[in-house]
Copies of this chain bind each other. A is one copy, B any other.
Amino acid sequence: MNNQKTPSQSPITWPTTQRLTEYLIILEELAENDIEVVSSRQLAQLYGNTASQVRQDFFRLKHTGNATRGYNIAELQATIRRNLGLDEVHKVAIIGCGKLGSTLALHVPLADYGMRLVAAFDIDPDIIGSRLSGVQVENADKMIKICHDRQVQLAALSVPKTAAQHCADRLVMAGVRGILNYTRVRLRVPAHIRVQNRQIICSFMQLCSRACT
């Protein structure tokens, strides 16, 4: 389910949300190079879309730039972060700390984008008890209690296929709001739970289809 429905209360559509996260990455890169201002044309060039679309996106955020110089990068970053809800700290758990799960824990800079890893789970006794990016890996049978106690809102699911649905069920019971599903299983969850399916193999297939045909 890549194209989710946009909740009616927000003026920000799903395509815009997706672009905003990427703009943020681009702006970060510009800021690192001490660039302070960017025009819609420049940003469009970097993103690979049109200046018109960039301006539309910011128009929806009610973000206003400078009619001569363009957009102030620091302000733009702040607006985007606020609109994506990255101002508050959202608590994240990683379910399954094998190869993929541990990579997510160590490689993804959650802390830089309004999130914090607060729990990690596995069933392998060799992995349970080890530390991963500041948290101790817990036994998966404590998932409901720990996620509930630590108020986990988001979870990344990187377990074997056979465990996927059972883990999802427990996450829902623990009150998690959204699941990033890296398993090749379609999860069945109540309608109010957001699931984003991110099977890495799909990205390879999509690229293959685009680049090689």
Say which one of A14-22, A54-62, A64-72, A119-127 lies at the interface with B.
A14-22
- A–B complex contacts, Cβ < 8 Å, 25 sampled: A1-B48, A10-B213, A21-B202, A22-B199, A25-B186, A25-B201, A26-B186, A28-B184, A29-B186, A46-B186, A83-B209, A99-B103, A99-B106, A100-B103, A107-B200, A109-B201, A110-B201, A110-B204, A115-B204, A154-B207, A154-B208, A154-B211, A178-B208, A196-B206, A196-B207
Identity of the chain B residue whose Cβ is nearest the Cβ of A4 in the assembled complex: B210
Identity of the chain B residue whose Cβ is nearest the Cβ of A84 in the assembled complex: B209
In the bound assembly, the distance between CA atoms of A88 and B90 in angstroms comes to 44
Q: Taking the complex as formed, is A177 at the interface, i.e. its CB lies under 8 A from any CB of chain B?
A: yes
Q: Taking the complex as formed, is A79 at the interface, i.e. its CB lies under 8 A from any CB of chain B?
A: no
Give the Cβ gap from A119 to chain B, nearest Cβ, in Å.
15
Q: Which of B4, B108, B206 contacts A21 (CB 8 A)?
A: B206
- Interface residue tally on A, bucketed by range: 35 or more
- Residues of the B chain whose Cβ atoms lie less than 8 Å from the Cβ of A179: 207
- Residues of the B chain whose Cβ atoms lie less than 8 Å from the Cβ of A153: 211-212
Interface string of A169-213 (1 = CB under 8 A from B): 000000001111000111000000110111111111111111111
The answer to whether B154 and A212 touch across the interface, beta carbons within 8 angstroms, is: yes
The answer to whether B208 and A85 touch across the interface, beta carbons within 8 angstroms, is: yes
Known contacts A110-B201, A196-B210; 20 further A-B pairs (Cβ under 8 A): A2-B18, A2-B22, A7-B210, A14-B210, A21-B205, A22-B199, A25-B199, A26-B186, A83-B209, A84-B209, A86-B209, A88-B212, A99-B107, A108-B204, A110-B204, A113-B201, A153-B212, A154-B204, A177-B212, A179-B207
